[in-house]
Amino acid sequence: MRLLVALLVLVLLLAAAVAVLWPLTPAVDDAEHRVALRLAEHGGRDLRALPRPDRVGEAVVATEDRRFYRHHGLDVLGVTRATYEWLRGAGDPGGATLDQQLAKNLYTPGETGPTSKLEQVELSFKLEARYSKAHILEMYLSAVYFGHGYYGLPSAAHGYFGVEPSHLTWAQASMLAGLLQAPSAYEPHAHLARARHRQRHVLDRLVATHVLTATQADAAFAAPLHLR
């Protein structure tokens, strides 16, 4: 009961903060322009549209934000879990949605602390109000860092495997999706064993979210990566 009351108070405080901060945070109409500037700065390639099939997108959603298509910028269940783990002394367990991660990359890069976190939540609501889920995922995959100097999915797909995003196998897509949590620590050229362990986790998440069967996931893990 105390947990439910605390959660209700948290939701009410968050709603009040959103209402107060809405006019104080930037508009997000320039999000696409910010993606283009980020890619130009780092020599990345624009995704332009989600590939078909979008295996990396499915893997990222399954691993990073499995309720992406059901929330509106903030995953209350994820925040509750993250808060509980933090209170248990587990450090920062994550819980940020893809919207929040996109807001961080485009509007508050390098910033930490509760004020920045709150601004990212506010901006995630604005992104949801302005863009479709497919567009948000497209911008996220265009702007995110995959390690080894590769910004955006097209650069990562070509740089690691020499193919376009639509030609990635499940083995390759799950490897790329696994890099996002820690691009340097999981970079497969330098840390292949770690990258493979993370790849297995991504494939397990795809099974848990019913994108792949266990047999398909095992086959993907056993398939060659053809890493350049």
Whether 212 shows a pLDDT value over 50: the answer reads yes
pLDDT tier, 89 (very low <50, low <70, confident <90, very high otherwise): low
Q: What's the whole-number mean pLDDT along residues 13-19?
A: 69
Question: Tell me, what's the pLDDT at 150?
Answer: 97
CA nearest to 170, candidates 138, 130, 213: 213
Average pLDDT over residues 200-210: 98
Domains of the chain, residue spans: 1-25+68-144, 149-228
pLDDT at position 118: 86
The stretch 97-112 carries a mean pLDDT of 93
- Per the CB < 8 A criterion, the answer to whether 40 and 137 are in contact is no
pLDDT band per the 50, 70, 90 thresholds, residue 77: low
Intrachain domains 1-25+68-144 and 149-228 with the same fold: yes
DSSP result, 138-158: HHHHHH-B-STT-BSHHHHHH
CB 161 within 8 A of CB 225: yes
> Does residue 4 register a pLDDT over 80?
no
Band (144; pLDDT cuts 50, 70, 90):
very high
149-228 maps to which CATH number? 1.10.3810.10
The model's confidence at residue 131, banded by pLDDT at 50, 70 and 90, is very high
Cα dihedral across residues 91, 178, 138, 142: positive or negative: positive
**Residue in the structure block whose two tokens are 């332009």:** 48
Round to whole Å and give the CA distance between 8 and 225.
47
When pLDDT is cut at 50, 70 and 90, the band that residue 81 belongs to is low
Q: What is the mean pLDDT of the chain?
A: 90
Q: List residues bridging with 145 in a β-sheet.
A: 151
- Residue 151's φ and ψ, nearest 5 degrees, are -105, 125
As a whole number, mean pLDDT of residues 120-148 equals 96
Within 10 A of 219 (CB to CB), how many other CB atoms are there? 14
Q: How far apart are CA 196 and CA 221, in angstroms?
A: 8
- Residue 92's pLDDT is what? 47
Does the pLDDT of residue 205 top 90, yes or no? Answer: yes
- Dihedral sign computed on CA atoms, order 171, 177, 179, 181: negative
Domain topology for 1-25+68-144: Penicillin binding protein transpeptidase fold (1.10.3810)
Under DSSP, is residue 226 helix (H, G, I), strand (E, B) or coil?
coil
